[in-house]
Structure 1
């Protein structure tokens, strides 16, 4: 059995039976391609069925010389999933990575922006430009609703339920959730829709897509990154800012102002509360204030 053959079957399994997004499938595929290229470069004619734990140990050892522990851990996790699939399809009886541990990772705290920095980024938008109102609506939506960049680019006009006060978001694995939307975010989306977007010539396949490029097509993830990076340079903010920074800031500011952690979990679309708990590490001062205010032994 060739690696290319089983990879195609695995991608179809992830797509059809697991319902994963194309981005997730691409990441899993890259892990397997790394391994198959390494085997080829080392002149090892070993199939997915016969590859052993010792060979995989050597691959991971070589990988550790080139990538950081986080990337190494993600690759190991991806390959474990692949070999579990091989067992599921009865190509193998055991997972050769079962006894191989991922490197221990410290918990990386997310970068966040102060409210004044978010205001500065939005103020730096040139509203006289063709895309100014659109870009303001994009930043307000990223921060106001805590969306992932892919959730923003996939947002549809039919997902906007302003009368009810929420938007429908398609998250990881095409899982849908309802996210409340505030009047400020709603205001700037409406300005973009009614004053800018309505005058665009829109491609047929993008008629329901909210945020469009100048050609009337959906925006790419890369374009959102470019918008944010350029504004950061313009304002002189030296933090490592990306679209995801607005999502982190959304969660952190809610927590600082007393929001319930489970409510934040639901709005972010985290499957596990453990993922959301990382925000409790961002501002220790806030946690001290909670104890001093609410604990009976304060």
Structure 2
């Protein structure tokens, strides 16, 4: 990891107290990618929370006069514009993830309602389950496209230090790389392990997503468990004697809804922070 304690044009020779905090948050965010958890959703939520803290640090760093002065220099503006472009594309991916979660939540709530109204008849309920699974396929397709977008964002950016005298730009690029990795984990979590693309030369993101795939295969997450429970339910032709399957499906859908709500809140909070940083950078460029 790059050190931000050196003398440079963009940071003071004696580091501001926020800088060590930033380094700590960046290290924690990276470490969370390799951390295991008894609950996959808990792991993803932890990653989103760590990313929120990291963006908070960046927001405060951008308020430092020396950083603003460095980023507003003409020879640095092109790199800041590149960061702005990649952050805009990352926000688009964030919106895709938000839409996928919203669609999954609505489908989950609708199916839960149908299961509670089992008096509607087993044929209609079977149809509702199939609608849910079809909706999941649509979500997975959108997620696959978003994963491809992440690959494009990473391949279009070189996250190695561009200029040893410009630590502020390096800092922003490090944050962008970490953000892409977390989004890779999140998208993989929502879609499930079978939607993983081949690495094709990916670096940081592909490594994280292969790790996420191994974790999912060893312990299915809330999305995968709900899919499995519902497939088992319709495979039994909705027999009245299969009360255990109905109960399991209900339980898995309830867990999935809670998981989705937690991810939605974390993603929305991160989205607001990303917007705030973009506004700060735009103000610096237009100063």
TM-score for both structures, normalised by structure 2 = 0.26
> Relative contact order, CA 8 A, sep 6+: which one is greater?
2
Query: Which structure has the larger Rg over C-alpha atoms?
Result: 1
Which structure dedicates a bigger proportion of its chain to helix? 2
